[in-house]
Copies of this chain bind each other. A is one copy, B any other.
């Protein structure tokens, strides 16, 4: 089928884990189709439409069906599920004529998608959980590692590396929640026949559905057309793209902080606390790859939204797109989770550079701290704000430390002693509720991860 040396798609070999690739390989697709045909047969047995024993029979006669068999026949029939059922019909003797009886192709296709989603989401959740755990360790380790908080790319106020990471833990946990939510809406079976009425099973449809899905461990969709509603697929795509974009945000964080002028975090090189000497130039290529794949995830979603708008009881225009969308999104996200897990596990942290950068403005970033103190001492907030703007600017313009400038200002010294000033100008004293907030984030993550 394929020339071994010449794939056109990088997800065949370059991106994505074997674990995820196996889920979306053609073999697994066919395996799931057969699984659903077996489930339907069980339903037919239960409803008294097929004779007892046919589902076990199907188990055996389906054993050696290879994708090639089906897809060679599809070239003639133009239809993969029809080819599969024909082959099963031929191979399964007496039971052959009950194969797929009363079912429609999308009973098989959509229920198989649900099975694939269940498998793939299990992997995604497992890897996300692992990532959150590693970040939790790192957060605890660096709960006190001072660094500058940056807004607009500019220095704002001191934070700790732990605090920064705890934000990601919270954000990722929200994605975990969303995965659990969408799972409930897409991991659902669709066993309802040609236009969803179950008509071919006459008054036994609900029995067929119940038994088939019980076997597969799936809840049914409440009602369907010929297919499961596509809002679920769209939501799934969106949820994956949101998680992908969050991973991208962390990748960009690391890419930025590994600039040679900054040197606070460096991708790769073994997880350890680095010295303050110049970190080796090391291109953050895993993070960059991740950022690239995030664009793929983000962009594919709009097509998934379009796919909701099918005609009447369905048209087929969802099909070709979904055959691409679903494996590619899961494989891209899978690679991203692998990459980020590796990156975070091997991240070099340079606390001395963090401190050096924090000191870059010679204390000026603590002007808010001074302002708060001045207001406590009775100065009006906007007066304090104006005064400190001037003094900050002077410190920066004249290349002096903020402390020097402050203690030579009479408006300041009138209210604050030199010792008080020194106390205010300690970064580690201006971290507010950092610790409590980190704890809230870790508790939130723990609660979320334990829920589904």
Contact = CB atoms under 8 A, between A and B. Distances in A.
A248 B308 contact: yes
A336 to B, nearest CB: 9
A295 B281 contact: no
Given A8-B327, A196-B167, A198-B433, A151 B255 contact: no
Nearest to A443: B222
Given A21-B8, A25-B7, A441-B223, A195 B234 contact: no
A452 interface: no
A213 interface: no
Copies, count: 4
Contacts of A309: 245, 248-249, 252, 294
B441 A199 contact: no
Nearest to A396: B278
Contacts of A27: 3, 5-6
A288 to B, nearest CB: 4
A445 to B, nearest CB: 9
A345 interface: no
Nearest to A224: B167
A409 interface: no
A4 B2 contact: yes
A15 B170 contact: no
A403 to B, nearest CB: 16
A313 interface: yes
List the 7 closest pairs (A to B, CB-CB), nearest first: A299-B303, A199-B432, A292-B320, A9-B9, A149-B195, A6-B25, A238-B238
Interface in A247-267: 248-249, 252-253, 255-256, 258-262
Interface in A41-75: 66-68, 71
Interface string A4-23: 11111111111110000110
